[in-house]
A and B are shown apart, each in its own frame.
Chain A
Amino acid sequence: MPAANHWIVTGNFTDDGAVAWRRADGTWSRAIAEAGLLADEASAKAIAARAVAAEQREICDPYGIEVFAEGTTIDPLTARQRIRANGPTTPIRRPDSGISR
């Protein structure tokens, strides 16, 4: 397992609960690859705290996590965050949701 070398900020979208990753420009993405990389925990905490106040309509419960980032890929370091990033590992009856997103 690679060692952590960055932090990113994540939460869930208020609209549908989908996993949200904070881009460097302060907007939120559904793709972890678009997350803005941060140097350390303090920066992640500060941004998450700001998001709790200023972006609460769009995002629920933002917080920072450690990742290993190299080139264009960002790898979470725990099973939980890997599953958050990639979705359930088991079959979903209708993966193409059929609901307008």
Chain B
Amino acid sequence: MYQYDDYDRRIIIERAQQFRGQVARRLSGEITEEEFKPLRLQNGLYMQLHAYMLRVAIPYGLLSSKQVRKLAHIARTYDKGYAHLTTRQNIQYNWPRLANVPVILDELASVEMHAVQTSGNCVRNITSDHFAGIARDEIEDPRPYCEILRQWSTFHPEFAHLPRKFKIAVTAAPGEDRAAVRFHDIGLRMVENAQGERGFEVLVGGGLGRTPVIAEVVRDFLPKRHMLSYIESILRVYNLAGRRDNKHKARIKILVTALGVEEFRRRVEEDWEKSRTPALELPDAEVARVSAFFAPPPYENIAADPDRLISLGLGRDRDLGNWVKNNVFPHKVPGYSAVVISVKKPGIPPGDVSDTQLDAIADIADRFSFGHTVVTHTQNLVLPDVKTSELPRLHAELRALDLGEANVGKLTDVITCPGLDYCDLANARSIPLSLEIAERFDRIDYLNDVGDVSIKISGCINACGHHHVGNIGILGIDKRGEEFYQLMLGGSPGNDASIGKILGRALAQNEIVDAVEKVLGRYLEIRDSIDERFLDTVRRVGFDPFKEAVYGSADPLEAAGGD
């Protein structure tokens, strides 16, 4: 993985030193909270309901075992013994004391980590496919491009005060979009043109939040060497024309919608023609230099044995079999597999991982996966490079750590934002719903029967839990100070992107999980075969059967009544 050079190291250490001074002045009362707030936000430090929250950037989700150990140490020493995996491949600490934050930043800097670009109206942490570098279906490893974007965007002076936050995701797997690129401000999809050259399809203006929008294609094919200059032009058009008068209308998706994609494209292309200089072109040598950091690890030469996984999946040990079927994914190197460690165990808030688990994961990564771990936007962890023959041993170790749940991509693998248990912006709690879902449906046969279905929960319209793109989405709303929930169906973040729609009237907290159960029950009754996924059934039959199941009537007035 990428190693900092002197410049990277210096800017991160200098930033931590500056923040130490700012914290000291805040603690002495020399500066007020109003003055301090923009400074702390630039360093990933939020004020939540009960405490500060520090969000740590994990570029494209990739962690070395040394970094994981450091995250464990910070959790143990300065927080309440756990870290929380976020829906943008980052982690956050929910309980740091202000005086300790500069020390935490020093600790992070010592392992080439920081908390910049995790807040504020800048280019945020770059995200990618959690199987980047190992996916069978990818054209090329996208991480060198993510890393180049990280270096370009960090402290970029022209784009430090954009109208709103700005999120970029990159994927190089045309077959399956695991990075939800269509729901980012800019999504880059690596593609090959008719001549066999590689470049990016550039999508702009996607996003969730108050106004969910699927990104539009602004350029079908951008040669790779122009990646930075073209993105600069997009950002320049946005920086000039994006609205700054209304926070809710300031994201680039609003600008693209307002101008229309044709006009937006025209402005970008015009700016690009004027502004691109050879200085912004990516030289092959630089791409090669960065790519060298992502060279494949020393894989062993193992003969391909596709039956091996099948026999593990069907073997006598049903725990192992289910885990292999649900949590193990194909790897491009014969004899290796990618393993998703589920951080969704009944009774534990989704994505919370303890200091001892983190330490153990670091050891496991060293022994089973060349020292690497990847955070997924679904709040799980990936061990990217596991020998298929070692899966039984790995599974036994993970199970002993309470990390052996066999539910990846299944009903209980819920994406859940922090919600009203932690988040200052929340309308309603998310985590208790997730825990209730985990408890109620914790039967592997049922999970396997229902098959691939995603539930995503957000505690407010900001949509950190990606509810719009859940096959089943749940959105917390506030009705006169009390928690209610809207149930949505039909969302998908991938290549078949769609935005879920509200099923009917909002439901109280004690009704919402029952409603999910009714929806699933109806799906099992009406799917046309066990191979028809939940999403396909919803798309085929529409909402009426589900409205009828939840509200007792498909009558739109009745289902929508009272809201």
Contacts and interface: CB of A to CB of B under 8 A. Distances in A.
B301 interface: no
B421 A80 contact: no
Contact of A79 (B32, B348, B428): B428
Interface in A49-101: 56-57, 60-61, 77-80, 83-84, 87-95, 97-99, 101
B232 interface: no
Given A94-B80, A99-B78, A89 B429 contact: yes
Interface residues of B, number: 42
A47 interface: no
Interface in A3-62: 12, 14-19, 56-57, 60-61
B51 A98 contact: no
B49 interface: yes
A14 B33 contact: yes
Contact of B483 (A15, A17, A18, A79): A79
Contacts of B347: 91
Interface in B344-384: 347-349, 352, 354
Contact of B80 (A57, A79, A89, A93): A93
Given A79-B428, A90-B431, A90-B435, A17 B81 contact: no
A60 B481 contact: no
B79 interface: yes
B27 A97 contact: no
B50 interface: yes
B401 interface: no
Interface residues of A, number: 30
B50 A18 contact: yes
Interface in B43-81: 47-52, 76-81
Given A90-B421, A94-B82, A16 B426 contact: no
Q: Of A12, A61, A87, which is in contact with the most chain B CB atoms at under 10 Å from its CB? A: A12
Interface in B1-59: 26-29, 32-33, 47-52
B32 A56 contact: yes
B417 to A, nearest CB: 13
A84 B47 CA distance: 13
Interface in B481-516: 481-483
Q: Of A14, A61, A95, which is in contact with the most chain B CB atoms at under 10 Å from its CB? A: A14
A19 B49 contact: yes
B481 A88 contact: no
B97 interface: yes
B292 interface: no
A90 B84 CA distance: 14
A19 to B, nearest CB: 6
Given A57-B28, A93-B81, A88 B422 contact: yes
B209 interface: no
Given A56-B33, A91-B347, A94-B82, A18 B27 contact: no
B454 to A, nearest CB: 21
B29 A57 contact: yes
Nearest to A58: B29
Contacts of B100: 99
Nearest to A16: B97
Contacts of A90: 349, 421, 429, 431-432, 435
Contacts of A101: 97
A18 B429 CA distance: 19
A17 B421 contact: no
Contacts of A92: 80, 82
B99 interface: yes
B28 A16 contact: no
B49 A93 contact: no
A71 B26 CA distance: 38
Nearest to B83: A93
B47 A83 contact: no
A77 B480 CA distance: 10
Nearest to B30: A57
7 contacts: A16-B97, A17-B52, A78-B482, A79-B420, A79-B429, A93-B352, A94-B82
Interface of B: 26-29, 32-33, 47-52, 76-82, 95, 97-100, 347-349, 352, 354, 420-422, 426, 428-429, 431-432, 435, 478, 481-483
Interface of A: 12, 14-19, 56-57, 60-61, 77-80, 83-84, 87-95, 97-99, 101
Pairs of residues from A and B, 4 with the lowest C-beta to C-beta distance, nearest first: A57-B29, A78-B481, A94-B81, A93-B82
Given A61-B47, A83-B49, A98-B80, 9 more contacts: A17-B50, A17-B51, A17-B52, A79-B482, A91-B348, A93-B80, A94-B81, A97-B80, A99-B97
